[in-house]
Amino acid sequence: MVEGKKAYKSARQSRRGGSGSLTFRLSSPPECSDPSSTDQTNKMSSHTLANTFRSSRLIYRAVDDASPVDQGFLFSAIDNDPTGVGNLSFCPVAPGNHAAMILIAMTKGSLLRVLACLPPDESTGPEAQPTPIGFAALMPRAPDAAHHRHALLGVVLAAPFRGQGYGKEIVNWVLDWGFIRGGLHRIGLGVFGYNERALKMYRSLRFTEEGRDREAVMFERQWWDVVNFGMLESEWEKLRG
């Protein structure tokens, strides 16, 4: 933690020196359990250049839009997963509705866009590759609004890895990156009202519920709100101590 505090103070000092409607809303992974809770959060705030692209169990790498592996993962985790489509997209829940393609195009030029991966199993040989399990992005609120230092958070987690604390781990890593490395002042997001696990997760991470788009989503013949959350830099500072 001492090393992490030094890096955090250094990042703050360096910072002091110095449209249209969407048809796709990035929400949260539908899971909330986290076995490491506070200890994990403290560990993840210990940033150095050497471990910037790592959290306690995961590594983070750039997305290659032309890679069959990356495209295959996103199509598998979103387009062919009804839970993924239902929790992430305004599109009807149907196979092949191109939600992954919209995601790829929509997040180009984002402040942050990464795949969250399990580290490679080195016992299988030197050619072993990381295994993608999730996607995360920090998108600008508007193309010409970078000076407001506000980004929208989006997270996707593949179905086999939900309920194991990976969602919280990814979100915590993105928060740390956004406020330490990205120079952000505020991070916001929206969650469909029927995604109860995601609502519970973001509340447990101390995001503030800031308002609702009332009855903005039709799901299973019912109208649901989009619940809007946000976290300020000062609130994140208190959480990290």
Instruction: Quick: pLDDT tens for 82-112.
Output: 887 778 777 788 776 577 777 788 888 899 9
Which pLDDT band, with edges at 50, 70 and 90, does 16 fall under?
very low
CATH code matching the domain that covers 2-8+23-188, chosen among 3.40.50, 3.90.480, 3.40.630, 3.10.590: 3.40.630
- What's the mean pLDDT when you consider all of the chain? 81
Please say if the pLDDT value at position 1 is more than 70: no
pLDDT (0 to 100) of residue 32: 47
Which pLDDT band, with edges at 50, 70 and 90, does 4 fall under?
very low
Q: pTM for the whole thing?
A: 0.78
Which pLDDT band, with edges at 50, 70 and 90, does 39 fall under?
low
d(CA 229, CA 28): 11
pLDDT (0 to 100) of residue 203: 97
Which pLDDT band, with edges at 50, 70 and 90, does 29 fall under?
low
pLDDT (0 to 100) of residue 3: 42
What b/e readout covers 4-16, taking b as 16+ CB neighbours within 10 angstroms?
Answer: beebbeebeeebe
The answer for residues whose C-beta is within 8 angstroms of residue 146's C-beta and 6 or more apart is 140
What are the distances in angstroms from CA 122 to CA 2, 51, 129, 130, 134? Answer: 31, 19, 9, 10, 21
Per-residue pLDDT of 76-90, as tens digits, reads 877 777 887 778 777
Beta bridge partners of 152: 139, 188
Per-residue pLDDT of 131-185, as tens digits, reads 999 999 999 887 788 899 999 999 999 999 999 999 999 999 999 999 999 999 9
pLDDT (0 to 100) of residue 36: 46
Instruction: For 6-43, give the DSSP string.
Output: HHHHHHHHHHHH-----SB-----S----SSHHHHHHH
Average pLDDT over residues 218-228: 94
Which pLDDT band, with edges at 50, 70 and 90, does 6 fall under?
very low
Please say if the pLDDT value at position 201 is more than 70: yes
Among 177, 180, 174, 176, residue whose Cα is nearest residue 189: 174
